[in-house]
Amino acid sequence: MEAQNSPKYKVWLNADVMHEASRNWLSELRFIKDEQQFLTNLIKSYTLQLIDETHFSESQKIVEALSDMQKQNKTFIETVKTHENQLLIMVDGVDQIKEEQAYKEAHRVLIIDINAYFKRYRALKKQLFQTIEDIMKHEKQKRLLQ
């Protein structure tokens, strides 16, 4: 009965699909790594405004979260590379049911964890841009009043 309920799961988690997903994750994680460097430089450009008392508390949380996300990104890149290298278990032609199931389960967990990471990262990026935008508006108003 269970086999009838899970064919989509088994078809969906075939070696080609998992390989393509891993490649896409690596591509996006590497892009995020570069983007995070840009965000770090952006923060440095606005350091004085970010440490101003009106933005300090929020800025500190953003900077700490960005730092944590950079560490997580590095970990995910290594995890996905390792996962990709282990794909051989799925395509070697040898029936290793337990190992193949463990690989599929690891892939399923990565789907959940990486998608959650991407979602948190987008929210953080949005928050940072909103903070910088507020600072820029405030700076422009100050210049206009002078």
Query: What are 109-129's pLDDT values in tens digits?
Result: 999 999 999 999 999 999 999
The phi-psi region of residue 107 (left if phi > 0; otherwise alpha if psi is between -120 and 50; otherwise beta) is: alpha
Distance between CA atoms of 49 and 138, rounded to whole angstroms? 10
Which region, left, alpha or beta, applies to residue 93 given φ > 0 means left and ψ of -120 to 50 means alpha?
Answer: left
Q: How far is CA 89 from the centre of its chain?
A: 26
DSSP state of 6: S
Q: Which residues contact 38 (CB under 8 A, 6 or more apart)?
A: none
CA distance 73 to 134: 27
Report percent pLDDT > 90 for the chain: 58
Q: What is the number of structural domains in the chain? A: 1
Q: What is the DSSP string of 22-68?
A: HHHHHHHHHHHHHHHHHHHHHHHHTHHHHTSTTTHHHHHHHHHHHHH
Distance of CA 130 to the CA centre of its chain: 20
**Residue of 143, 138, 140, 124 lying closest to 43 (CA atoms):** 124
Q: Which of 45, 65, 68, 75 is nearest to 136 (CA)?
A: 45
- The sign of the torsion formed by the CA atoms of 129, 133, 135, 136 equals positive
Domain with 129 in it: 2-145
pTM above 0.95, yes or no: no
Return the top range by mean pLDDT from 23-32, 43-52, 95-104.
23-32
pLDDT for 39 equals: 95
